[in-house]
């Protein structure tokens, strides 16, 4: 075949990119394309992700230019833009990574329709997960609803081969390359996007902290997890390369287990695309409490570990996993507020926010998801005593309390009232049992 188009979506990398690799192997010339769909309203929905995306696209364009090609940028309805470019460059095939959300399913259907109409080959490849959704199935068929058997199957499965990055690419001329999207201002502590930044982070983190991952990943103040999630979300790093690069080293096994959680929620979402809208299984009756929801969102609940998590989210577009669990449990279990409110707030701020992992985890914590212990409630005070013993995490994000000693910082409501009033910090919005 002479010319193929590669549509980049959430696989913004040249290393181990199956869509790019397959197109390059089968066609003489390759046209890399990214289509920004205005229907997604990226900047309004999440300025942090819009910024991370813009930086990642800039890096990808550079990497492609170094290899003799370019990244063609278009804005519009994806299938229509793909077909327009197909006609311009006379492409015979279109390659892209398969995805699981409702949006991705609609995009897939539109592309299938349009490519069939124009007699163009359309090839979906893996690449967004270590193990593609649907590749593993329990004995009775269907998909995995419980994590542990999924993890066992995931670990025992034969994974696909990694694809080498192309050394050179040949690309036909295209009338306009298109402009990179603007970079909106994000949270002040937002990480920089891009394949180079993601790869560097993985290598340096692995060298320093993978070995202690099992022991330290829950330590809130230690902040010793990889912080690769946004790079995985946009495919700046390949999940398969990360898994292979970690396994076989001390700490690799528990770390890979987290990557398997990510794959687990993808295959749940593929089977239940309404995961961000509907309870996966019946849950509690929620109540409305706008005042409590506002306090939770603003990090003003009066429960320091909860407020620290929520303020970290706003400041960095990231929150430590343990804090995500504590803040989510507090919203749904202590305040009785519908997990969908929490999902939407996280979706706005998280650079790593995605349908499968955000909704899958929210439902897990709320007791409506794939949790085998759906009634488990986390007591935020006990969580703070266990995972932020010294109070350092709270000190970092709640400056009003920074001068307090470790016991007082976790439960400032126990201080004498005169001292409490001087803090400029609210009393707890609910009593903790």
The yes or no reply on residue 310 touching ligand FAD (CB under 6 A) is: no
The yes or no reply on residue 133 touching ligand FAD (CB under 6 A) is: no
In order of 74, 174, 236, 267, the CA distances from 132 in angstroms are 28, 33, 17, 8
Least Å distance, CB 248 to ligand FAD, is 17
Instruction: Compute the CA torsion angle 111, 117, 121, 123 (nearest 10 deg).
Output: 20
The yes or no reply on residue 49 touching ligand FAD (CB under 6 A) is: no
Q: How far apart are CA 77 and CA 99, in angstroms?
A: 17
The yes or no reply on residue 393 touching ligand FAD (CB under 6 A) is: no
Name the CA radius of gyration of the chain, rounded: 23
Nearest to 268 by CA among 251, 286, 284, 280: 280
Identified binder of ligand FAD from the candidate list 50, 325, 337, 429, rule CB under 6 A: 325
Least Å distance, CB 309 to ligand FAD, is 10
27 contacts 79 by C-beta, under 8 angstroms: no
Nearer to ligand FAD, 6 or 328 (CB): 328
Identified binder of ligand FAD from the candidate list 265, 280, 296, 349, rule CB under 6 A: 265
Nearer to ligand FAD, 61 or 233 (CB): 233
Q: How far apart are CA 206 and CA 226, in angstroms?
A: 8
Least Å distance, CB 80 to ligand FAD, is 29
Identified binder of ligand FAD from the candidate list 10, 108, 206, 233, rule CB under 6 A: 233
Task: Point out which residues pair with 242 in neighbouring strands.
Answer: none
The yes or no reply on residue 30 touching ligand FAD (CB under 6 A) is: no
Nearer to ligand FAD, 365 or 401 (CB): 365
Least Å distance, CB 421 to ligand FAD, is 33
User: Pairing relation of β-strands 29-36 and 3-8?
Assistant: parallel
| Residues of this chain, 244-263, that bind ligand FAD according to CB under 6 A | 258-259, 261-262
Collapsed DSSP state (helix, strand, coil) of residue 207:
helix
Binding marks (x or -) toward ligand FAD, 344..383, rule CB under 6 A? --x---x-xxx--xx--xx--x------------------
219 contacts 387 by C-beta, under 8 angstroms: yes
Nearer to ligand FAD, 8 or 348 (CB): 348
Q: How far apart are CA 242 and CA 258, in angstroms?
A: 11
378 contacts 326 by C-beta, under 8 angstroms: yes
Beta strands across the sheet bearing 72-75:
72-75, 29-36, 3-8, 93-97, 121-125
35 contacts 78 by C-beta, under 8 angstroms: yes
Q: How far apart are CA 340 and CA 125, in angstroms?
A: 31
Least Å distance, CB 324 to ligand FAD, is 4
Residue 56 sits at φ, ψ, to 5 deg, of -70, -40
The yes or no reply on residue 226 touching ligand FAD (CB under 6 A) is: yes
The yes or no reply on residue 328 touching ligand FAD (CB under 6 A) is: yes
Least Å distance, CB 182 to ligand FAD, is 24
Least Å distance, CB 273 to ligand FAD, is 16
Identified binder of ligand FAD from the candidate list 324, 333, 341, 345, rule CB under 6 A: 324
Residues binding ligand FAD (CB under 6 A): 217, 225-229, 232-233, 258-259, 261-262, 265, 321, 324-325, 328, 346, 350, 352-354, 357-358, 361-362, 365
């Amino acid at each position: 075949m002479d010319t193929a188009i590669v549509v980049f979506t959430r696989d913004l990398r040249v290393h181990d990119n199956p869509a790019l690799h397959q197109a390059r192997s089968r066609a003489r010339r390759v046209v890399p394309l990214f289509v920004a769909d205005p229907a997604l309203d990226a900047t309004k929905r999440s300025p942090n992700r819009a910024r991370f995306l813009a930086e990642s696209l800039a890096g990808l364009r550079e990497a492609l230019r170094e290899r003799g090609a370019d990244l063609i940028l278009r804005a519009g309805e994806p299938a229509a833009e793909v077909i327009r470019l197909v006609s311009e460059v006379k492409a015979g095939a279109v390659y892209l990574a398969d995805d699981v959300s409702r949006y991705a399913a609609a995009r897939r259907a539109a592309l299938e329709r349009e490519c069939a109409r124009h007699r163009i080959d359309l090839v979906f490849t893996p690449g967004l997960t270590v193990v593609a959704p649907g590749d593993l199935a329990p004995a009775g068929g269907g998909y995995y609803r419980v994590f542990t058997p999924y993890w066992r199957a995931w670990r025992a499965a034969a994974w696909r081969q990694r694809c080498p990055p192309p050394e050179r690419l040949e690309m036909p001329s295209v009338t306009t390359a298109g402009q990179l999207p603007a970079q909106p201002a994000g949270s002040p502590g937002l990480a920089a996007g891009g394949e180079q930044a993601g790869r560097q982070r993985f290598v340096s983190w692995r060298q320093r902290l993978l070995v202690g991952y099992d022991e330290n990943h829950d330590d809130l103040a230690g902040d010793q997890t990889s912080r690769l999630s946004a790079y995985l979300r946009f495919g700046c790093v390949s999940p398969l390369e990360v898994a292979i690069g970690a396994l076989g080293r001390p700490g690799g096994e528990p770390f890979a287990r987290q990557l398997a959680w990510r794959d687990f929620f993808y295959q749940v979402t593929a089977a239940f695309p309404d995961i961000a809208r509907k309870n996966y299984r019946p849950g509690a009756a929620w109540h409305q409490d706008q005042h409590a929801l506002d306090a939770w969102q603003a990090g003003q609940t009066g429960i320091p570990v909860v407020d620290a998590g929520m303020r970290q989210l706003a400041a960095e577009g990231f929150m430590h996993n343990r804090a995500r669990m504590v803040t989510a449990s507090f919203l749904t279990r202590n305040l009785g507020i519908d997990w969908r409110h929490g999902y939407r707030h996280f979706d706005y701020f998280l650079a790593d926010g995605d349908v499968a992992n955000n909704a899958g985890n929210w439902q897990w914590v709320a007791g409506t998801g794939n949790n085998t212990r759906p009634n488990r409630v986390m007591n935020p005070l006990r969580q703070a005593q266990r995972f932020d013993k010294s109070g350092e995490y709270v000190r970092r994000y709640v400056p009003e309390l920074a001068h307090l000693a470790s016991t007082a910082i976790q439960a400032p409501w126990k201080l004498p009232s005169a001292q409490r009033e001087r803090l400029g910090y609210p009393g707890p919005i609910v009593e903790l049992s």
